[in-house]
Amino acid sequence: MSTPRSRFAALLAGATALAAVTTAPAYGETVKLTILGLGDAYSFSEEDGRGGFARINAVARAERAANPNTLYVFDGDMLSPSLLSGFDKGQNTIDLTNLVPFDIAVPGNHEFDFGPENFLEKMAASKYPWAAINITNADGSPVPGLGGVMMKDVGGVKVALIPVAQDTSPEVSSTGDLVFLPTVDTAVAAAKQARDDGADIVVGVVQTNMANDRALIASHAFDVIMSGDDHSYATAYDGVTAYVETSIDGRFLSPVDLTVEIGADKDGKRTIDWVPMFRFIDTAMVEPDPESQAMVDAFTAKLDESLNVEIGTTETALDSRRNVVRAEESAMGNLIADAIRARTGADVSIANGGGIRADRTYDPGTVLTRRDILTELPFGNVTVVTELPGSQLLAALENGVSQVEKGAGRFPQVSGMSFVYDPTAPAGSRIASVTVGGADLDVNAVYKLATNDYILGGGDGYSALGGGNVLVDAGNGNLMANDVMEYILETGKVTSTVEGRIKKVGE
Ligand SMILES: [Zn+2]
């Protein structure tokens, strides 16, 4: 196993020309690089005193002020989902990030939630470069305005930024005709090429899931990887690659300092040696940037205003009272379940009654606003999609009705299916029959289920929903509330009724 130093010496053996092309510090000098990564920044405002762009921008400004050799990189996902982005298609995040521009930004899957044209428009409105080496037009030509590998001279150190998008984006977003090349293979090839081209430090800026991250780290082609998509915070260093998983909404930030030592081997060839130092910033401890905070405040007012916008009229009576949505079929439950099924193309959907919260009725003729839907679905749950055998769907429904006598929130509001149950039978064997699309449930068939991230993760006792083939996970889905708003906006009306999807035995 080679040490980093000897590996670099070997890799840079052919790079003697480098000293000539960079205004390099003298051999033996050290240069401190700071790399700050951000990704999955959806919410313009803080949550519980943590995250949000006023704090993120404060940290980025402070890092740049403290060290001019700072690279500030965005590893994907800002345009969606959020309540305000459901209204302005993500312009708020562009405005806020323009205040403290990135050195490079990689499009995450959510950058395409409003279609490729919206991404191109937002890219043009950005005061910083967007880039991805693995996105092309359908004919293989480059996407105008979207860059590739970026070589930067940072204090005399030649840094290659390798921007990589998640290749599953077409499956979870609206990428149109854009082509996504394989994430890991494309990234590793580009990193090796950048090294051959004389990069001292190769930085991956990647919107990739954990499995791909592991493959990228294991490739040893990168010195640093800043990764988004997973929403978690993690740092790692295996002696070769320093890695940061960049959290969500900038709640936790981790600038990585590289003390880069530039030297020469016995043949006089340039060598690069470095060690990483990870810093941890809990943004709850950060004073918000005043200019950014003023913009955040303006967006807060705009969001509030946007919630008053009318999205459609209900032609039928809707009921979201607590005792209804947790005990019987409800027209509001049907509306929500229909919306997430329609928006995802799933066969069936389940919405837990406990997630429907406004606890009220709507008379026919009521004009619905965005605020009404948000009040019904206040938890910020995300629409997810999984493939499951009928047996697990049945088990999920059994869980759903297992505590109906207690008014438990797990009661299932459904779409694409109907069921009959016996509330007096023992919990676990209450479901008498289930039909999907009019036919009896086949316990061996695989169904595509839309639901929310909370119960897919086992919330409300829904462990039966786990273990399937997840097609859209929590990191990749839309806000349920936005899905319902869009569903109503499509026709401008609601016609949901109680139609016999859920019946008790003998009814
Ligand atoms: Zn993502």
Please report whether residue 258 resides in a domain. no
User: Is pLDDT at 332 greater than 70 in this prediction?
Assistant: yes
Distance 144 CA to ligand 1 centre (A): 22
Q: pLDDT digit string (tens) for 194-246?
A: 999 999 999 999 999 999 999 999 999 999 999 999 999 999 999 999 999 99
User: Is pLDDT at 182 greater than 50 in this prediction?
Assistant: yes
Distance 74 CA to ligand 1 centre (A): 12
pLDDT at 28: 72
Query: pTM of the predicted model, to two decimals?
Result: 0.85
Distance 341 CA to ligand 1 centre (A): 21
Residue with the larger pLDDT of the pair 116 and 268: 116
pLDDT at 217: 98
Judged on CB neighbours under 10 Å (0-12, 13-18, 19+), 188 is buried
Please report whether residue 27 resides in a domain. no
Q: Do residue 61 and residue 151 come from a single domain?
A: yes
Question: Which range marks the domain in which residue 402 is found?
Answer: 309-504
C-alpha span between 130 and 180 (Å, rounded):
15
Q: Do residue 321 and residue 223 come from a single domain?
A: no
C-alpha span between 167 and 132 (Å, rounded):
11
Distance 148 CA to ligand 1 centre (A): 19
Judged on CB neighbours under 10 Å (0-12, 13-18, 19+), 503 is middle
Q: Do residue 231 and residue 165 come from a single domain?
A: yes
Distance 171 CA to ligand 1 centre (A): 12
Max CA pair span of the chain: 90
Domain count, the chain: 2
Portion of the chain with pLDDT greater than 90, in percent:
91
CATH number at residue 74: 3.60.21.10
Distance 90 CA to ligand 1 centre (A): 15
Q: Do residue 231 and residue 99 come from a single domain?
A: yes
Q: Do residue 289 and residue 325 come from a single domain?
A: no
pLDDT band at 25 (very low <50, low <70, confident <90, very high): low
Contact in structure between 275 and 259 (CB atoms under 8 Å): yes
Contact in structure between 167 and 206 (CB atoms under 8 Å): no
pLDDT band at 27 (very low <50, low <70, confident <90, very high): low
Reading the block at residue 184, the tokens are: 């890991």
Q: Do residue 436 and residue 491 come from a single domain?
A: yes
Q: Do residue 320 and residue 287 come from a single domain?
A: no
pLDDT at 380: 87
Angle between helices 91-99 and 290-306 (to 10 degrees): 170
Q: pLDDT digit string (tens) for 88-110?
A: 999 999 999 999 999 999 999 99
426: preceding bond cis by omega (within 30 degrees)? no
Rg of the chain, C-alpha, whole Å? 26
Stretch 254-283: mean pLDDT? 95
Contact in structure between 136 and 146 (CB atoms under 8 Å): no
Contact in structure between 200 and 159 (CB atoms under 8 Å): yes
Tokens 């900038």 belong to residue: 250
CATH number at residue 464: 3.90.780.10
Distance 305 CA to ligand 1 centre (A): 28
Distance 265 CA to ligand 1 centre (A): 42
Distance 124 CA to ligand 1 centre (A): 21
pLDDT band at 19 (very low <50, low <70, confident <90, very high): very low
**Domain closes at, from 274, 302, 330:** 302
Distance 228 CA to ligand 1 centre (A): 7
Report residues near ion ligand 1: CB below 5 Å: 77, 108-109, 229, 475
Contact in structure between 420 and 433 (CB atoms under 8 Å): yes
